[in-house]
Chains A and B, each alone.
Chain A
Amino acid sequence: MRDFVVVGLSHRTAPVEVRERLAVSPERLESELRDIVASTGLEEALLISTCNRVELYATSDDPARALARARETLRARLPSDTSDDVLYSERGIAVVRHAFRVASSLDSLVVGEPQILGQVKEAYDAAKGAGTSGTLLGRCFSQSFSTAKRVRNETGIAEGTVSVSSIASELAKKIFGHLDGRTTLLLGAGEMGEAAARSLRQTGTQLHVTNRSEDRAQALAASCGGRAVPYEQLTTELATADVVIASTGSPKFILTPELMRGVVRSRRHRPLFIIDIAVPRDVDPRVGSMDNVFVYDVDDLQQVAEENLAVRAREAADAERIIEEEVDSFLAWRRSLELAPTIVALRRRFGAVADEELKRAMSRLEGLSPADQAVLEGMARSLVNKLLHQPMTQLKAGAAEPDGSYLIDAVRRLFGLQDQVQNEPAAEPEPSGEATPTSLAAAAVGSSGKPK
C-alpha cells in the first residue's frame, strides 16, 4: 500500500541547538536526498530544512517500515543525548495536511511569515533535481504551493508585521517611501535598538551609531555594518538623520522639545521618524506632537505586533478551512487515480471466471456448431456485463463521495483485486509505475503515527 510518511522536528518540539544539528544547507539538499533514498529504499523522498524545522517526507509501499527507516535516518544525526521525543511523525493523509499547513505558514513560529513557501519550493526543486520526487510527492507539493497561494490571497494571515524591529522598518517605509540612501541614527547601545538597527540596515539605509561610550559605539558599528560618530555631534547627526533609534540607558529624556525644535529648524522640516526603544524613555512625549516628527515608543510597537498577531490568529481559522478543502481535493485526486485500475481489474476478474467456465463447459459439450458456441459465449459475456452493471455504476458514483476510498477498498477486498491492481501496467497514468494505487484506507482514516 503506497502511502505518505513524514518524520521531522520543528520549533514546537526541539530547541535550536538540536535543530541546527539536523539542518541541511540548500546546496547539499540534492546529494543528501540521494544518499537517504539509496540507504533507506524509500520510493520518494523530500527534505525541508529551515532554521525552524527539518522534515523528511517520503512515500513507500510499506509505510510502517518506511516510517521506521526515516526515523532512524534523522535519529542518527541527532546528538546522542537527545531524547527521541523531539521527532514527530505522521502517516497517510495527515502528511499531506501537514505539508499544506507548513507551506501555508500555519505551522510557522510566526504564523503567516512569507519565507517558508520559498523554502518549501527550494526543497521540492531539490527533490526533483535528485529524482526522488515522483507522482505522489509531486502532486502533494505542487498542490501545497497553490494552497499556500490561496491562503495568502483569501485570508489576511500575512497582513501586518509582527516583530518589533520589522514593524519599525515597515513604518519607516510608510513615511519615507524607499529607504535606500536614507540615514538611520542609532542612539545608545540597547539590545532591542541593535536589532531594530539591523533590520533597517537590511532595507538599505546608512547606519550611524553614537553612544556616550565611544568604544561601545565603535564595537556596535562594526557588528552592524555602520559608522560610529562622536556623541558630541548628536545635534548635527539628528539634523541629517531620517530615522533615529533611541535606546540609551539614560534615566532622563535625551531628546527634549527644546533640543528638537532647533533640530527641526535645521532639518528644514524634513520628516523625522524616532523609534524610542529605551525604558525609561529617551524621548519626551511632547516631541511626538511636533510637525513632521513621528515618535513611536516600545509600547506602541509592541501593541502593533500584538494586534497583528491577533488578526493573524483570527485569519488562521479561515486558513484551516482552506487546508481541509485542499486535502479533500487531494483525496479525490488519489481516488480518481485508483478508480480506473479497480474497474479494469474487476472486469478482468469476472471475465477470467467466465472464460474459464466457458472453456470447461465447451469441453464437456461435444459437437457444438460454431453458431451454438457463439450463443454460449454471448451468454457468458452478457452474464458478466449484467452482473457488473450495478456494482460499476455504484462504484463510479460512490468514488466521488468523500469516503469513496472505503468503497474502492471494499470492492478490492471483496473480489481479491489487490495483486491484480498492482500488476496492472496498462491502467496506470504514469509509466514509471510509481503511481500504482493501492488501498487508501489508511489515508482516509488519517494518521496512524501520532506526533510525539
Chain B
Amino acid sequence: MKSGLFIATAVLYAIACVLYLVLLTRRADSMRRLPGTVFVMALGGHIAFLTLESSAPVEFPLGDMAQVLSVSSLGIGIAFLLASYRFDVTVLGAFVVPVALMLFLASGLGSDYVPVSAQVESAMLTLHIGANILGLVAFALAFGAGVAYVLQERLLRRRQLGGLFQRLPALDVLDTIGLRAVLTGFPLLTFGMVTGTFWLLRGDSGGFFISQALGLIAWAIFAAVIVLRVAAGWQGRKAAIGTILGFLCTLLVLAGYVVRAAVGNA
C-alpha cells in the first residue's frame, strides 16, 4: 500500500515535470491549467504518503533522513504553488518541480535510514532540521527563478525572441523572486549553520567535515549575493548565477548527509 502510493506519487510528479516542460517550450494554450492540476494531485499523494509514514513510530519528528528529504520536497512543491499564484510564473515549474521530484525519489531510496544522531537534544535537532528544510525550500525557489533569469537574459542578448522568450517571465519579476527567496532562506540557513556547528564542536563526529565545509561555502555564497545586492545594488545575471551555485552547494550538503546516513547504515 505504502510503496504503491509512493510510486503513484512519483509518477504524478514525473508527469507534472514533463507537462511543465511542455508548457514552457510549446505553444499550448489549451493545456495551461493541466500541469498545475497534475502537480496538485502529486502533492495530495505526497501528503497521504507522509501521513501513512508518520503513523510508524519515529523517535522524534524529522529525525529520519528520508523524512527530511520527503518533507523538503513537499515544502518546495507548496512554496512553488504559492509563488506561482502570487507572481503568475507557472512556467517556473519546469525548473522547480524536477528538484522536488529528485528529493522525493531520494527519500524513497533511503526509506530505512537510521536517525541522524540519537545523542543530541531532540528539540534543538528538530529546530535545526526544520530551519534547514525551510531554507532549502526558499533556495529551491530562488534557484528556479535564477535558472529562468539566466536563460531569459541569454535569449534577450542573443535576440532569440521566440516562444520560449515570450513564455518566460520578465527579468525584473525573476530577479524579485530570487531576491525575496534568498532573503527568506538566508537567516534560516544561518540558524541551521550555527546549530550544526554547535554540535560539531561538542560532538566527536569528524566525518562531518566535508558537509560542514560545503555548508559553509553555500552560506558564504548566499551571504555574498545578499551583501552585494544590498550594498552595491548588484543584481541580474551575476546574482542569479550566485544563487544557482549556492543552491547546488546546499544540495551537495544534503547529498553528504544522505551518503553518510547510508554508509552509517551499512
- Interface membership of B254, Cβ < 8 A: no
Would you call A175 and B172 a contact (CB within 8 A)? yes
Would you call A159 and B166 a contact (CB within 8 A)? yes
| Nearest-neighbor residue (CB-CB) of A156 within chain B | B27
State the total of A-B contacts with C-beta under 8 angstroms: 60
Would you call B30 and A174 a contact (CB within 8 A)? no
Q: Which residues of chain B come closer than 8 Å to A296, judged between CB atoms?
A: 159
* With A171-B161, A292-B235, A304-B159 as contacts: A177 and B27 at CB distance below 8 Å: no
Per the bound structure, the CA–CA distance linking A177 and B152 in Å amounts to 13
Would you call A176 and B172 a contact (CB within 8 A)? yes
Q: How big is the A interface, by class?
A: 20 to 34
- Interface membership of B58, Cβ < 8 A: no
What per-residue 1/0 map shows which CB atoms of B157-199 lie under 8 Å from chain A?
A: 1010111011001111100100000000000000000000000
Among A288, A291, A300, A303, which residue has its beta carbon within 8 angstroms of that of B238?
A: A291
Q: Which residues of chain A come closer than 8 Å to B170, judged between CB atoms?
A: 173-177
Q: How big is the B interface, by class?
A: 20 to 34
Q: Which residues of chain B come closer than 8 Å to A291, judged between CB atoms?
A: 236-238
Q: Which residues of chain A come closer than 8 Å to B163, judged between CB atoms?
A: 156, 159
> Majority SS of interface residues in chain B?
helix
* With A156-B27, A159-B163, A303-B159 as contacts: A177 and B173 at CB distance below 8 Å: yes
- Interface membership of B213, Cβ < 8 A: no
A156, A173, A176, A269 interface centre (most CB from chain B within 10 Å): A269
What per-residue 1/0 map shows which CB atoms of A152-186 lie under 8 Å from chain B?
A: 01001001100000000001011111000000000
What per-residue 1/0 map shows which CB atoms of A282-308 lie under 8 Å from chain B?
A: 000000100110101000100110010
Per the bound structure, the CA–CA distance linking A291 and B173 in Å amounts to 18
- Interface membership of A450, Cβ < 8 A: no
Would you call A153 and B29 a contact (CB within 8 A)? yes
CB distance from A50 to the nearest CB of B (A): 26
Per the bound structure, the CA–CA distance linking A175 and B233 in Å amounts to 17
| Nearest-neighbor residue (CB-CB) of A304 within chain B | B161
- Interface membership of B156, Cβ < 8 A: yes
Q: Which residues of chain A come closer than 8 Å to B152, judged between CB atoms?
A: 174
Per the bound structure, the CA–CA distance linking A130 and B20 in Å amounts to 48
CB distance from B185 to the nearest CB of A (A): 22
List the 6 shortest-distance A-B pairs measured between CB atoms, nearest first: A268-B233, A177-B170, A177-B172, A292-B236, A177-B173, A269-B233
